[in-house]
Amino acid sequence: MIDIKFLRENPDAVKDNIKKKFQDHKLPLVDEVIELDAQARKTQQEADSLRAERNKLSKQIGALMGQGKKEEAEEVKKQVNAQAKTLEELAEREKELGEKVTKIMMTIPNIIDPSVPIGRNDEENVEIQKYGDPVVPDFEIPYHTDIMEKLNGIDLDSARKVAGNGFYYLMGDIARLHSAVISYARDFMIDRGFTYCVPPFMIRSNVVTGVMSFDEMDAMMYKIEGEDLYLIGTSEHSMIGKFIDTIIPEADLPKTLTSYSPCFRKEKGAHGLEERGVYRIHQFEKQEMIVVCRPEESPMWFEKLWQNTVDLFRSLDIPVRTLECCSGDLADLKVKSIDVEAWSPRQKKYFEVGSCSNLGDAQARRLKIRVNAENGKYFAHTLNNTVVAPPRMLIAFLENNLQKDGSVKIPKALQPYMGGKTEIR
């Protein structure tokens, strides 16, 4: 959510930003919110003037009663009582206008960074750099669930009976590999100075609307029936929520946290062949990283965060590349985003395994995450990035480490987490 003051003073810049995101249907919202904001401020001024007048009259009543002028005091009381109803109406009007302004402001996209390439969707994202040499072996690589099934590592049929499509049972060494990747990612981030955290896996609605847009909320979140609780789609939601309505001493910044959690997502919409299996599912586990920092430091942390994911995948000998997300592919709260994609030898192309985002002060403004500095208070900047999400990581891992005889080699970095195993067969 952008600053209403910025919107008042720079409506054309806000409209230009909306156009860059190809959301022209939102252009009328700028003028609408300016008008509503003007009404809200006028109503507030009227209410404040009336409150001041009431305070003045109340003092007069006290003075008149002290002088024994009861009749005159009663006349003034009548004025105060008459103003009470007007003040109540103004307060209700002020609240109503304020809620309308907030609702619209939460649908107007954040101002994107000038470096973001302009494009309509993910097909226009821009490749930045490749890390590692993508290899296509001289033997056929099966679909990832076929690899798992041959290793007795997955049971999709039983999962469908128990929970429906979009779920799985991981078994044996594949289940162990899943846990090993999570544990390795946890220690990898701790070694880089991040504090490990296991957060709540459910959050309240005010946190949900604080960390994501309404469109994302509708497409992703599962609501707990009868309670003001949602299952998290990623631990970023509860990790950023940890700082809701807080004032952080500037000396305590940055806050650098890495968190483990299960994640739950609706994953609305039809998906193609390459999104079956464990690619796009309703429940998975993930290691995440988040940063709360000073505004001037957020570009530096943005670079560090996506580099962490690249380094982790390269430590497991998986080739990756980075993509700059174009304007039309950015969620409304994001200022800038880079996707990390892993190489798929079977598909002979890269696919997304992580996404790094700088959200500026959008989340902090919604959640009231402020910093107490020497010269006053300001809103913090928040960033997040996927360390690793094993379902997709498992796809990349199995495809890049599959041997001709059907076994899967275990990279040296991961062997201590697999009980010393050097391969799965």
Exposure of 26 by Cβ count < 10 A (0-12 exposed, 13-18 middle, 19+ buried)?
middle
Q: Clarify whether residues 261 and 378 are in a common domain.
A: yes
Q: What number of helices (H) and strands (E) belong to the chain?
A: 13, 18
- Is the bond preceding residue 254 a cis peptide, omega within 30 degrees? yes
Residue 375 placed within a domain: yes
- List pLDDT tens digits, range 235-280: 999 999 999 999 999 999 999 999 999 999 987 654 554 556 788 8
Helix (H) or strand (E) run with residue 245 in it: none
Domain boundary among 105, 131, 155: 105
Position 64 scores a pLDDT of: 65
Domain boundary among 55, 79, 105: 105
Position 73 scores a pLDDT of: 66
Q: Clarify whether residues 94 and 136 are in a common domain.
A: no
Beta 369-373 vs 246-249: how paired, if at all? parallel
Structure pTM? 0.89
- List pLDDT tens digits, range 221-231: 999 999 999 99
Residue 115 placed within a domain: no
Residue carrying structure tokens 């480490």: 401
Domain boundary among 75, 105, 135: 105
Residue 386, classed as helix, strand or coil, is strand
Q: Clarify whether residues 134 and 255 are in a common domain.
A: yes
- 281: domain CATH number is 3.30.930.10
Q: Clarify whether residues 134 and 214 are in a common domain.
A: yes
Instruction: Give, in order, the Cα–Cα distances in Å from 12 to each of 8, 16, 320, 333.
Output: 10, 6, 39, 19
Q: Clarify whether residues 362 and 420 are in a common domain.
A: yes
Nearest-10 crossing angle of helices 172-191, 390-401: 110
Q: In terms of residue numbers, what domain contains 100?
A: 4-105
Instruction: Give, in order, the Cα–Cα distances in Å from 60 to each of 48, 86, 208, 380.
Output: 19, 20, 49, 46
Count of all residues that appear for the chain in the document: 425
Q: Measure the CA–CA gap between 173 and 423, rounded to whole angstroms.
A: 10
Output b/e per residue, 123-152; b: 16+ Cβ within 10 A: eebeeeeebbebeeeeeebebbbebbbebe
Residue 287 placed within a domain: yes
Residue 116 placed within a domain: no
Q: Clarify whether residues 43 and 132 are in a common domain.
A: no
Q: Clarify whether residues 25 and 159 are in a common domain.
A: no
Which amino acid is it at 146?
D
Residue 416 placed within a domain: yes
Residue 339 placed within a domain: yes
> Which stretches of the chain score pLDDT less than 70?
57-58, 61, 64, 73-78, 80-82, 268-276
Q: Clarify whether residues 221 and 362 are in a common domain.
A: yes
Total number of domains constituting the chain: 2
- 49: domain CATH number is 1.10.287.40
Q: Clarify whether residues 388 and 291 are in a common domain.
A: yes
